[in-house]
Each structure stands twice: as C-alpha cells, then as structure tokens.
Amino acid sequence: MVAQAKPDYGTHHRNALLATNSTEVEISPGENMPRKTMQKMQLKRELGLFSAVNLIVGVMIGSGIFVSPASALERSGSVGLCLIIWAVCGSISLLGALAFAELGTVVPRSGAEYAYFQEAYGGLHRFWGPLPSFICCWVYVIILRPAEVAVIILTFSEYICQPFAYHINYMPAESQEILKKIIALLGLGLLTYINFISVKLYVHVQNIFTSCKLFACLVVIIGGLYELCIGNTQNLTKGFGGSTTSPKNLALAFYSGLWAFDGWSTVTSVTEEVKRPEVNIPRSIMIGVPLVTAVYFMMNVAYMTVLTIPEMIAAPAVAVIFGDRILGVMNFIIPLGVALSTFGCALSIQFSVTRLCYVAGREGHMVEVFSYIHMRRLTPAPAVVSQGLLSFIFIIIGDITSLIDFASFLIWIFYGAAMVALMLMRRTKKDVKRPYKVPLWIPLFIIFIALFLCLVPIITDPSPRYFIALLFIGIGIAVYVPLVYYRHRPQWMDKFTYFIQVLMEVVPSEQSFD
C-alpha cells in the first residue's frame, strides 16, 4: 500500500487506508515474488540551467510577438518611443524576476507566489493567513492557466492550418471551425501526454521547440537587418516624430509592453525540479529575461524597418505580413514558427501550473490526489490530467479571451503581494541563508508597477465586467471556508482518491527540498 499524505485540511485523506509514516511504495509479494521496496516517491530534479532558461523563454515568447506586437506602437505613436518602452519593460521584468529568485532561495518549494504566500502569511491568522495562497491557486489552477493553454493551443491550430488555407477555404465556415478545434484538441492531448509521461521527455521536447522558436525569431531579425543594410531606413529615421504626450496613452503603452513579458516567474513554479536551484534559478533568470528582451527589441526593429506604423497597427498578424514581404517562397517559415512557438508555450504553461496544482494538493488547498505522483514515471499525473481536462472544456466553450482579460489583472496583484511577502520574510526569516539579496527598492518598485497595471485598465476602461474576477474570488472564498478553514471532508472523497490511485497508479509523494 502507500503512505498517507499529511492530513492538515479537509480535502486530505483522514482514514487509515494507507500505511502510516512511510513514503516508500511496498509491493505485496505473491507466491513467487519476493518482497521489494521501490524508490522514494518524489519529483526528481531534471531541469538544469539550459532547461530552466528554455522554460523561461518558452513561456515568455508565445504568439504575441509574432501576431500582435503593435499595441505599444499604437499607444506610443512613434518608433523611437516604442523601442524605449520595450527596453524599459524588459528591464522591469528582469527586476521582478530577480526578486522572485531571492524568494525562491528563502522558500525552496515549487509553486512560486502560492508557496511564498503560504510561508509569509500562512501563520499570521488562522482564517486570513492561508487565504491569499488559496485564492492564488484557485485563480491560476481553475481558470487562468488552463484558459491560457486553451487560447494558445487554438492559435497553434490556426497557424498549423495556414499553409493549407487554399484547400480549407473551400469548406463551410462551421466546418473550418470544427476542424481547427479538432486539431487544437489533438495538440492539447499531445502536450498533456508529454507532461504525463516523463519530465525528461518534457525537457527534451521543450528544448527542441524553444530552439525552433528562437530560430523563427532569428529569421525575422536577420530579415530586418538585411533591409537596414541595403538602406531601407525611411521608417526608422522618423525617430520620435509623433510621440504621444498623453499620460493615458503612455500608461497604456507600458501596460501592453509589460504584459508581453509575462512569464518571467515561471521557473520559480518548478523549484523542486531544478538542479541546484539556489544557483540555477538566478542564473536562468539573468540569461532568459535579457535574452527575451533583446529578441523582442530586435524583432520590433525588424518589423518597423519593413512595415509602416499604420501597416503594423492594421495587420492581423504582423510577422506573417513581414514574411510575405521579405521571405518570398520561404514565407511558410513564419506560420510554422508561430505554430511551434505556441505549442511550446502551451506545453510549458501546463507543465508549470501542474506543479502549482501538485503543491496546493500537498498543502490541502486542492484535492489531495492532485499531490500524488505516478509510481514509475514520477510525474504529478492527476494534476496533469486535471489541467488537460480543464483546457479541453475551455476549447469546447470557444471564445474565452475576455475571460482571460478580466482575470489577468489579478496576476500583478499576486506579484505585488509576493513583493510584500519578500519584505515580510526579511524580518521573520532573518536567519535563512540567502545566496543573494535584491536591494529593497526593487520590491517597492515592483509593488508600484503592480498597482499601476491593476488600476490602469479599470481607470481607462471602467466596466462592470471586472466584477467577474471579484465574483470568482468570492466563489473561491465560499469553497475555502468549509473545505480548508473548517476542514470538512466530503464522504465520497476517500472512494474518489482510491479510484484515482488505482486508475493512474499514483501514490503520495515525500516532501523533500534537499
């Protein structure tokens, strides 16, 4: 049998169905089978520095830089100001990521913001203390990340179909949508299988896809540099002409740029699977975020060299228009690059959120079985499958972009709260070894940016639809009170846990942060 998980909360196992005080899997001997004890059940550290960098790059570079990078340009009004905004946004993202790296050394657990909230606030009050971490995992696990995976994999389907557009366009519009959804579901099934089957397989696939993604970015950059070398500089020579003087437009330009860099905290979501995290997490951040900043900056230079500002703003997919104009018969590289980029991005987002789901299950904030791992594959199989199913539902539903838009502003609320947690733990955990510390002004600055990003959309476009996010938080609190605070355990939970254990061959994991 298998060991009982730590029964702290109502979603955790309470009956003595499992062997106590052991996290080793014991196989019952048959007539001809000797008793055998297998390895301890815990996630393995499979991500080195190269893979950690690829994880950051894989999540940060999705489809946005290929499809719709012109929002900042439209708001800023000029080429020069737009490029400055991209560079500044990259620098801000690096500062935030470095602050998260310090948090990762203080709290060496997977889960990023969730783990930091639990450590900093969990002991402050019996009711309010664990609530921020619960709301964090509630938003990320149930809505935001699976919805993002669904939207990104639908974009993958859109671009994988583009080379065959001549043939597909003869189909009725309804049939085209069904075909694209089927391809999206097949893509979702493939990435869920990869994350289910092996962390090593994920690492290999992600490394390949990130390399292909960067190659597609390099094609765009080289195309732009070639145009500059032959003297096509008329667009760039406009410099700061037309720059906005409106504080509102400038704020919205920074808002668009900062959202394009989201994903810089991803590596701290998988801390328990990074080799030498105290070394490799800061290093991966200091390599990955500047790399993405340089790629974004140079790709915008390339776009602005070839396309005018009105062309970029009007283009449904900027990189595709760029490819048609520059690459000739090789223009298929761009839609292929977007397809590879989006698949790799969705793969890494699902990989990271399943670790949050796994940690939340271990802490009693999600269903207990989400904290179980496969006996042989050592992956959090129930968490992976649950995320696949949620994304499946969102794909079937269809248009969920607005749902993401109105839940996304909560991300920076969590980032800001994480900076408060960092400053709090400098007082409450003074004796914890910190390989490095960021200056105090960095978390204070990130808190200011977080408030800015949360308030700008509400002030500039006030809408009752933002209450959707508050309503979802209210539902989360309604779940938190009986299941986490009062530790109520539904009667069917034992049978459900046993069923999933048998179906997926999963067992409780042993917590280890060595």
Residue 230's Cβ-count burial label (10 Å; 0-12, 13-18, 19+) is exposed
Q: What is the pTM of this model?
A: 0.85
Q: Tens of pLDDT along 113-159? A: 999 999 999 888 899 999 999 999 999 999 889 988 998 898 898 88
Confidence class of residue 406 from pLDDT cuts 50, 70 and 90?
low
pLDDT at 55 over 80: yes
pLDDT at 436 over 50: yes
User: 463-480 in b/e burial notation, b at 16+ Cβ within 10 A?
Assistant: eeebebbeebbeebeeeb
Crossing angle, helix 401-428 and helix 113-121, to 10 degrees?
A: 40
Q: What percent of the chain is predicted at pLDDT more than 70?
A: 89
What pLDDT is stored for residue 19 in this prediction? Answer: 36
Q: Tens of pLDDT along 324-371? A: 888 887 888 888 888 888 999 999 999 999 999 999 998 889 888 998
**Does CATH number 3.40.50.720 belong to domain 49-488?**
no
What pLDDT is stored for residue 466 in this prediction? Answer: 72
Confidence class of residue 257 from pLDDT cuts 50, 70 and 90?
confident
Confidence class of residue 22 from pLDDT cuts 50, 70 and 90?
very low
Give the span between the Cα atoms of 343 and 153, in whole angstroms.
6
Q: Which helix (H) or strand (E) holds 484?
A: none
Strands 36-40 and 372-374: unpaired
Q: Left, alpha or beta for 490 (phi > 0: left; psi -120 to 50: alpha)?
A: beta
Give the span between the Cα atoms of 374 and 43, in whole angstroms.
10
Average pLDDT, the chain: 83
What pLDDT is stored for residue 30 in this prediction? Answer: 42
Q: Is residue 268 within 8 Å of residue 108, measured between CB atoms?
A: no
User: 245-273 in b/e burial notation, b at 16+ Cβ within 10 A?
Assistant: eeeebbbbbbbbbbbbbbbbbbbbbbbbb
Q: What percent of the chain is predicted at pLDDT more than 90?
A: 32
Q: Which helix (H) or strand (E) holds 104?
A: helix 79-106
Question: 10 Å Cβ neighbour count for 170?
Answer: 8
pLDDT at 415 over 60: yes
Sign of CA dihedral 270, 276, 282, 284: negative
Contacts of residues 134-137 at CB distance under 8 Å and 24 or more positions apart, as own/partner, are: 134/360, 134/365, 134/476, 134/480, 134/484, 135/473, 135/476, 135/477, 135/480, 136/414, 137/111, 137/356, 137/357, 137/360, 137/365, 137/366
Q: Tens of pLDDT along 63-114? A: 778 777 778 888 888 888 989 999 999 999 999 999 998 998 888 888 889 9
Q: Of 439, 448, 449, 513, which Cα lies nearest the Cα of 99?
A: 439
Give the span between the Cα atoms of 9 and 336, in whole angstroms.
47
Contacts of 269 (CB under 8 A, 6+ apart): 110, 111, 112, 352, 353, 355, 356
Strand partners, 373: 507
* Phi, psi angles (nearest 5°) of residue 317: -145, 100
Strand partners, 3: 19
Hey, where are the domains in the chain?
49-488
Please give the structure tokens belonging to residue 90: 């990259």
